[in-house]
Amino acid sequence: MKDQHSEGARPQRTVLALSLLAAISVALFATAALAQSNDIYIYPAKGQNQAQQDRDRYDCHAWAVRQTGFDPSKPAAQPAVTAAPAPNTYPPNAYQPTQRHVLRGGARGAALGAVGGAIAGDAGKGAAAGAAMGGLAGGFRRRDERRQQYAQQQYAQQQYAQQQAASHQSSQQSQRAAYYRAMGACLQGRGYTVN
């Protein structure tokens, strides 16, 4: 029984080993295929066989990655989104009203209410009602100002994020071009015609 069990494990190990070997081969081939994308065309000018071409492409790919720090076989890293606000903007909690809207509105409302109340015969009630209405109107002005500042801040942060993304994309394109120049130089040094 023991011999049958150990013999049953061998085919599984063999299948596993072959699967692993196939996966590594596919990964190496995919890397070589990515290295030979639409940006670079490679011709074996000295009659190199397919195995030699694969080795040369892989070696040149690895060398170009080391030289440039760019690997086209890996997904492009997205720029980190920073929580820092764009320059010259205020954090959301740092609202500073430009005027004392509630107090000013209350004072104006009280003055107008006192005048209206004096005409009606009770200046105190008119002043109180006017102060309440003026304070409410001032509160609305303050809310509107806060919303406007928040909208301006959001716009500035969006602009900053777009500038950062454009800068990152430009950097990626520059690294990609350097990678393909390095790849081409390596392959030309190994006897390939590269366009």
Average of per-residue pLDDT values in the chain:
74
In a domain, 128, yes or no: yes
Asked whether residue 20 is assigned to any structural domain, the reply reads no
How many angstroms from the chain centroid is the CA of residue 154?
Answer: 17
Give the model's pLDDT for residue 62: 95
Alpha-carbon distance values, 140 to 98, 105, 144, 176, 193 (Å): 14, 10, 6, 54, 73
Domain that holds residue 91: 36-195
Stretches where the chain sits below pLDDT 50 are 30-38, 83, 85-86
**Residues 114, 130 contacting (CB under 8 angstroms):** yes
How many domains are contained in the chain? 1
The predicted structure's pLDDT at residue 73: 85
Quick check: is 19 in a domain?
no
pTM for the complete prediction? 0.43
* Maximal C-alpha separation, the chain: 114
Q: Is 15 a domain residue?
A: no
Residue 147 is assigned to a structural domain of this protein: yes
DSSP 8-state symbol, 161: H
Is 1 a domain residue?
no
- What confidence tens digit (pLDDT) does each residue in 170-186 have? 888 888 899 999 999 99
Residue 146 lies in a domain: yes
pLDDT number for residue 171:
84
Would you say residue 108 lies in a domain? Answer: yes
* Residue 167 pLDDT: 84
pLDDT at 61: 94
Using one digit for the tens of pLDDT, what is the confidence trace for 52-90? 999 999 999 999 999 999 998 887 665 555 545 445 555
